[in-house]
Every structure is written in C-alpha cells, then in structure tokens.
Amino acid sequence: MTSITAQKIYVMLEDYIKIMEEEHEMAISNFKKVKEKASKFIYAIEADKNLKNNNLSKEDKNLIKSNLVKFFGENYDMVEILKKAEAFQVAYGVFSHEDLQKKYNEIPVVLYDRTDLADTMKLIKVLDYKESTDLNNTYFIDEYSEEKF
C-alpha cells in the first residue's frame, strides 16, 4: 500500500484501540457499581428469608442483623430495602450471583492493543504510487480462508 494509506490505517486502528479501551473501562466501572448494590440487595433478600426462619440460632440472627446494619446503616427499614431491592433487580436483571457473573461476562474485551498495532504495521509493505510487487508468496486471510496459522 502507499504510505498515505498506511498512515490512515495506523490512525484508524489506533483510534479503534482507544475506543475499545474506553468502552472496556466504562463497562468495568458500571459493573462495579451494579455489583456493589446487587450484592447488598441479594444479601438483604436472603437475610430477610433467614430471619423469618425459626431454625436459626440467636447468634446467627444477630450476625445477620449486624451485617444489615453494616450494609444499610443503623436505622435500616427492611420493608423499604426489600422494595428497593426488587426495583433494582427488575431494572438491572440481577436476581442472583449467577446473574452478576453473566453481567461480568458481558463486559466487552479489548481485542488488540498498541503492541498488536505495532506488529501489524511491521507487516505492511509500503510502495510508491503505481509501483508493483510480487504477490505470489502472500497469504490472503479472509472469512472464507481455510488457511490456518
């Protein structure tokens, strides 16, 4: 390709790397916020069920209550917390720790980085305009190629 084309490819790929990295970081940040709230709400729902269970020891019930205070403050209102938990779960589709794991798995990955870009640019052969080259030993990789490397 010509040097102008190589420069444009470099700029485009570099820009795409930046976009992928920003999307990845934003998704991780959003996931952390959802995870924190979801974990507390999942705990609150399980705690409410356990507190209504008469088979728990007094120590276990006190431990659950102290954790609820830790998560929601001294004057927590369980009815209000459960309402917020339900609304949160419906809004974010997180009803369990498995759902949280699914959300984590949906975070977009960075497919390649600047090192990959540098390696790619080394493979480019720059030609002058109207200059030709021998393509006999060149591999063309496309979606139909069966060639494996």
Question: How high is the pLDDT of residue 135?
Answer: 65
How far, in Å, CA of 75 to CA of 61, rounded? 17
Residue 64: both structure tokens together: 């659950």
User: Over its length of 149 residues, how does the chain's per-residue pLDDT go in tens digits?
Assistant: 888 999 999 999 999 999 999 999 999 999 999 999 999 999 999 999 999 887 888 899 999 999 999 999 999 999 999 999 999 999 999 999 999 999 999 999 999 999 999 999 998 888 888 777 776 666 555 565 555 54
How far, in Å, CA of 110 to CA of 20, rounded? 6
Q: Is the dihedral of CA 10, 11, 13, 17 positive or negative?
A: positive
Neighbours of 73 (CB within 10 A): 9
Is residue 85 within 8 Å of residue 45, measured between CB atoms?
yes
How far, in Å, CA of 144 to CA of 16, rounded? 24
Question: How high is the pLDDT of residue 147?
Answer: 54
Is residue 113 within 8 Å of residue 17, measured between CB atoms?
yes
Question: How high is the pLDDT of residue 63?
Answer: 93
Q: Please name the amino acid found at residue 89.
A: Q
How far, in Å, CA of 116 to CA of 99, rounded? 33
